[in-house]
Amino acid sequence: MSDPSLPARSVPDLPLSGRCFCGAVTFAVAEPPSGVIACHCHDCQQMHGTYNPMAAVPRGALSVSGEALVWFASSAKARRGFCGRCGSRLFKDNLGSDRVLVSMGSFDGSTGLRLLRNIWTESKGDWYDLPAEEPPRA
Ligand SMILES: [Zn+2]
């Protein structure tokens, strides 16, 4: 049974789609991500200008198009994918993971997703409050 006190959750059609600001890089997600993880680490804040809400997408469900996509090795364990033309930060790829993290702001329209978890909260900025987590509904 769904909780009547919570607003109805829209379930968008698959695949979800998205793009960078200029449109040179586009992507599609063929399976629904489980939800959103907001990373408050210093690396994400420097790269995105603020904390970084991302959806964990199964690697095989993500297809990306556009020769403007550039990968930057942000550490020995992760690389960041961004548009080399407009600079939009689209992906974080933790090497060896079966999922790729996709920036929530890059999706087209509604995603039907909710914030499941804040991570690296000890390094969050002092100028904002943590966004509310909303665990998956039964
Ligand atoms: Zn672009």
| Interval between CA 122 and ligand 1 midpoint (Å) | 32
Task: Return the SS3 of 86.
Answer: coil
Per-residue pLDDT 10s for the chain (138 aa) are 445 565 556 667 889 999 999 999 999 999 988 889 999 999 899 989 999 999 999 999 999 999 999 999 999 999 999 999 999 999 999 999 999 999 999 999 989 999 999 999 999 999 999 999 987 665
The predicted structure's pLDDT at residue 22: 98
Q: Which of 78, 26, 29 is nearest to 55 (CA)?
A: 29
| Interval between CA 4 and ligand 1 midpoint (Å) | 41
| Interval between CA 25 and ligand 1 midpoint (Å) | 6
| Interval between CA 89 and ligand 1 midpoint (Å) | 9
Burial state string for 50-84 with b = 16 or more CB within 10 A and e = fewer than 16: ebbbbbbbeeebbeeebebbeeeeeeeebebbbbb
The predicted structure's pLDDT at residue 1: 47
| Interval between CA 126 and ligand 1 midpoint (Å) | 31
The predicted structure's pLDDT at residue 128: 94
| Interval between CA 82 and ligand 1 midpoint (Å) | 8
Q: What is the pTM of this model?
A: 0.87
What CATH number is given for 16-123 in this structure? 2.170.150.70
